């Protein structure tokens, strides 16, 4: 079944190529892109069944030599965490394409170019999660920036140039520092083995035995890259700009998928390669994580722009994920990984719903809306559901993960956990307040009333406009329902029965913790 993984890498690239030739015909481009992304989804489904949770650490591995002089190989394989992430990418991309179906691109831009970049982004991101060669990982980590740079810069809002360059430079700098560490690890391996290699498994063996000073330096190089990517406070400032300026589908990809590379990298690279340093530096990382939870929550509460709001919500969530990872218990680890998945789904859904709101009002300012549930009850319900899963209401998918993170972190890190719990309260505040301002009360706001007035330029007064808007602002269309329906199903399904996902994740998290060499207090207690 190795071919499935390779096909997952190749199919979107072929799709991108085909779509790039359809720049003249927007409709055909959209259909072809959607078809390729659905094929990718089917392949991801096959991958899920091909993966054996109790099997090897890295499965479906395959590879060929690339640069023999440095022992670099094109080498791919997945563990449970990578599998989950690849699945969620494959799930979100068709939804993103569907959600952007009627979105108007800036003048002179074609759907063909846009969708082609999205498919390239999909392929490269799958590659980042599937790479098992550190050099290859770095290469894809940096290459991943290029399509995103053009997506934000070419198709975004007013300050897109600034946002695109900022996004690129932050990640590029982080990546370069990581490269220095990777070369350091390579140099150690070539000293020890007599022949250099970038193979992940080999490097884990070699580097994890290094003395703690060396580990600390190498750890910091990798950590900076992942902390920028994830993003942890104070390396987060690119995200609100990128999220606010990107078109809504791209925001889903940035927040829902790309950011996960950061936390994935922590689990796959930081912990196994530098166990000593990870343990020593964990308190500092946890300070950043908890700071992220509080800072992100507070700033989300204060945002006036919905897209920036989404970015800060994510920053808070990444604080939780990092808390779980650096608590070194299997419950918290499993919680973090499932949080990575659930964050993609619930925040992805929230972004898509917010995108639908913005598509109706033409503004991303919260103050431009009000009382929308009167004209769009279904949309309002979806925003509430997406909001509730974002604040981790029991019965939704995120609850399971957030609960696991907190309960798993408490035994080892009680103080941090207690502080982070405040974030849950703030989450209720910012989500419900957002819902209240946009959806409830009398119909108001420039975007809603203005949109109606704009359509009837001869309307004599505002009161007529208020009547007219009922026809101007419609409820969810069939297409939008089709986009949101799968997410609703998954949110509820994983909320009530998360076991299939947890089964896939648990062995990998267990293996990661074994590589770190911590005895898991929770498991020990259960053993007694």
CB of 502 to another protein, least distance (A): 35
Which residue in the set 13, 35, 105, 176 belongs to the binding site for another protein (CB under 8 A)? 176
CB of 56 to another protein, least distance (A): 28
Which of 150, 165, 156 is CA-nearest to residue 113?
A: 150
* Listed ranges 171-179, 200-208, 285-293, 402-410: which one lies at the site for another protein (CB under 8 A): 171-179
* Listed ranges 10-18, 149-157, 302-310, 405-413: which one lies at the site for another protein (CB under 8 A): 149-157
Site size toward another protein, by CB under 8 A: 33
CB of 160 to another protein, least distance (A): 7
Distant-in-sequence, close-in-space partners of 116: CB < 8 Å, separation ≥ 6:
16, 17, 19, 20, 33
CB of 156 to another protein, least distance (A): 9
**How far apart (Å, rounded) are the C-alpha atoms in residues 405 and 409?**
6
* Burial degree of 422 (CB within 10 A; 0-12, 13-18, 19+): middle
* Listed ranges 87-95, 153-161, 376-384, 474-482: which one lies at the site for another protein (CB under 8 A): 153-161
**How far apart (Å, rounded) are the C-alpha atoms in residues 240 and 21?**
33
Which residue in the set 177, 384, 482, 511 belongs to the binding site for another protein (CB under 8 A)? 177
Q: Which one-letter DSSP state was computed for residue 106?
A: P
One-letter-per-residue 3-state SS of 125-180: HHHHHHECEHHHHHHHHHHCHHHHHHHHHHHCCCCHHHHHHHHHHHHHHHHHHHHH
Nearer to another protein, 154 or 272 (CB): 154
* Listed ranges 163-171, 363-371, 425-433, 470-478: which one lies at the site for another protein (CB under 8 A): 163-171
Which residue in the set 146, 287, 298, 492 belongs to the binding site for another protein (CB under 8 A)? 146
Sign of CA dihedral 59, 49, 229, 321: negative
Which residue in the set 70, 101, 403, 433 belongs to the binding site for another protein (CB under 8 A)? 70
Question: DSSP for 12-35?
Answer: HHHHHHHHHTTTT-HHHHHHHHHH
Does residue 433 belong to the site contacting another protein (CB under 8 A)?
Answer: no
Does residue 71 belong to the site contacting another protein (CB under 8 A)?
Answer: no
Which residue in the set 36, 51, 129, 168 belongs to the binding site for another protein (CB under 8 A)? 168
* Listed ranges 37-45, 175-183, 266-274, 362-370: which one lies at the site for another protein (CB under 8 A): 175-183
Contact between residue 343 and residue 328 where contact means Cβ atoms under 8 Å apart: no
Which residue in the set 58, 95, 179, 449 belongs to the binding site for another protein (CB under 8 A)? 179
Which residue in the set 15, 94, 98, 153 belongs to the binding site for another protein (CB under 8 A)? 153
CB of 12 to another protein, least distance (A): 17
Does residue 154 belong to the site contacting another protein (CB under 8 A)?
Answer: yes
Contact between residue 253 and residue 118 where contact means Cβ atoms under 8 Å apart: yes
Nearer to another protein, 154 or 445 (CB): 154
Nearer to another protein, 69 or 525 (CB): 69
| 8 DSSP β-pair partners | none
CB of 106 to another protein, least distance (A): 9
Does residue 172 belong to the site contacting another protein (CB under 8 A)?
Answer: yes
Q: Calculate the CA 85 to chain-centre distance.
A: 9
Nearer to another protein, 118 or 376 (CB): 118
CB of 314 to another protein, least distance (A): 24
Which residue in the set 36, 114, 150, 369 belongs to the binding site for another protein (CB under 8 A)? 150
Nearer to another protein, 79 or 241 (CB): 241
Distances 61 to 56, 128, 173, 299 between C-alpha atoms, Å: 10, 14, 30, 43
**How far apart (Å, rounded) are the C-alpha atoms in residues 284 and 239?**
22
Binding mask 39-68 for another protein (x = CB under 8 A): ----------------------------xx
236-239's contacts with Cβ under 8 Å and 24+ in sequence apart are 236/292, 236/296, 236/315, 237/166, 237/170, 238/163, 238/166, 238/167, 238/170, 238/171, 239/311, 239/314, 239/315
**Residue 526, Cβ neighbours under 10 Å: how many?**
9
Which of 401, 428, 405 is CA-nearest to residue 344?
A: 401
| 76 DSSP β-pair partners | 62, 131
Q: Which residue has the tokens 């884990």?
A: 204
* Listed ranges 90-98, 161-169, 365-373, 401-409: which one lies at the site for another protein (CB under 8 A): 161-169
Torsion of CA 308, 314, 319, 324, to 10 degrees: 180
Binding mask 89-118 for another protein (x = CB under 8 A): -------------------x----------
* Listed ranges 49-57, 174-182, 304-312, 469-477: which one lies at the site for another protein (CB under 8 A): 174-182
Nearer to another protein, 136 or 325 (CB): 136
Does residue 169 belong to the site contacting another protein (CB under 8 A)?
Answer: yes
Does residue 429 belong to the site contacting another protein (CB under 8 A)?
Answer: no
Does residue 20 belong to the site contacting another protein (CB under 8 A)?
Answer: no
Which residue in the set 24, 54, 64, 69 belongs to the binding site for another protein (CB under 8 A)? 69
Contact between residue 296 and residue 315 where contact means Cβ atoms under 8 Å apart: yes
Sign of CA dihedral 100, 104, 105, 110: positive
Q: Which one-letter DSSP state was computed for residue 73?
A: E
Token pair, residue 325, equals: 């990872």
Site for another protein in 184-203 (CB under 8 A): 184, 186-187, 190
> What is the binding site for another protein (CB under 8 A)?
67-70, 108, 138-140, 142-143, 145-146, 149-150, 153-154, 160-161, 164-165, 168-169, 172-173, 176-177, 179-180, 183-184, 186-187, 190
């Amino acid at each position: 079944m190795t071919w499935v993984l390779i096909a997952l890498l190749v199919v979107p690239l072929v799709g991108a190529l085909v779509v790039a030739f359809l720049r003249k015909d927007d409709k055909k481009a959209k259909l072809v892109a959607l078809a390729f992304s659905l094929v990718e989804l089917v392949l991801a489904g096959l991958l899920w069944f091909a993966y054996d949770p109790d099997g090897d650490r890295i499965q479906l591995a395959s590879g060929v030599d690339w640069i023999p002089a440095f022992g670099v190989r094109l080498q791919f394989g997945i563990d449970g965490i990578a599998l989950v992430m690849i699945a969620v990418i494959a799930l979100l991309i068709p939804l993103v394409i569907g959600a952007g179906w009627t979105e108007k691109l800036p003048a002179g831009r074609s759907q063909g170019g846009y969708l082609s970049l999205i498919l390239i982004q999909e392929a490269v991101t799958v590659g980042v999660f599937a790479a098992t060669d550190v050099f290859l990982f770095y290469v894809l980590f940096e290459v991943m920036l290029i399509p995103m740079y053009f997506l934000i810069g070419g198709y975004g809002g007013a300050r897109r140039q600034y946002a695109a360059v900022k996004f690129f430079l932050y990640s590029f700098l982080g990546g370069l520092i990581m490269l220095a560490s990777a070369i350091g690890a390579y140099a150690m391996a070539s000293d020890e083995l007599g022949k250099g290699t970038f193979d992940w498994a080999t490097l884990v063996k070699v580097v994890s035995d290094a003395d703690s000073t060396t580990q600390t330096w190498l750890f910091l190089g990798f950590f900076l890259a992942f902390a920028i990517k994830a993003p942890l406070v104070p390396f987060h400032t690119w995200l609100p700009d990128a999220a606010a300026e990107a078109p809504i589908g791209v925001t889903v990809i940035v927040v829902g998928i790309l950011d996960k590379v950061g936390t994935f990298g922590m689990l796959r690279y930081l912990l196994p390669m530098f166990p000593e340093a990870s343990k020593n530096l964990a308190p500092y990382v946890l300070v950043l994580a908890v700071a992220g939870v509080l800072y992100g929550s507070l700033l989300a509460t204060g945002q006036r722009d919905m897209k920036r709001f989404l970015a800060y919500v994510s920053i808070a969530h990444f604080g939780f994920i990092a808390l779980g990872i650096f608590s070194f218990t299997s419950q918290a680890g499993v919680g973090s990984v499932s949080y990575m998945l659930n964050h993609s789904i619930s925040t992805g859904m929230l972004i898509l719903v917010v995108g639908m709101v913005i598509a109706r009002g033409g503004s991303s300012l919260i103050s431009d809306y009000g009382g929308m549930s009167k004209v769009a009850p279904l949309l309002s319900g979806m925003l509430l559901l997406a909001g509730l899963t974002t604040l981790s209401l029991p019965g939704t998918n995120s609850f399971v993960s957030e609960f696991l993170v907190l309960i798993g972190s408490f035994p080892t890190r009680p103080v941090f956990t207690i502080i982070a719990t405040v974030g849950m309260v703030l989450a209720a505040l910012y989500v419900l307040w957002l819902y209240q301002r946009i959806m409830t009360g009398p119909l108001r706001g420039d975007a809603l009333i203005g949109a109606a007035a704009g359509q009837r330029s001869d309307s004599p007064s505002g009161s007529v406009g208020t009547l007219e808007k009922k026809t101007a602002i419609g409820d969810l269309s069939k297409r939008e329902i089709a986009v949101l329906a799968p997410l609703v199903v998954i949110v509820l399904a994983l909320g009530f029965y998360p076991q299939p996902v947890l089964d896939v994740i648990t062995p990998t998290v267990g293996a990661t913790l074994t590589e770190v060499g911590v005895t898991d207090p929770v498991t020990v207690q259960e053993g007694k």
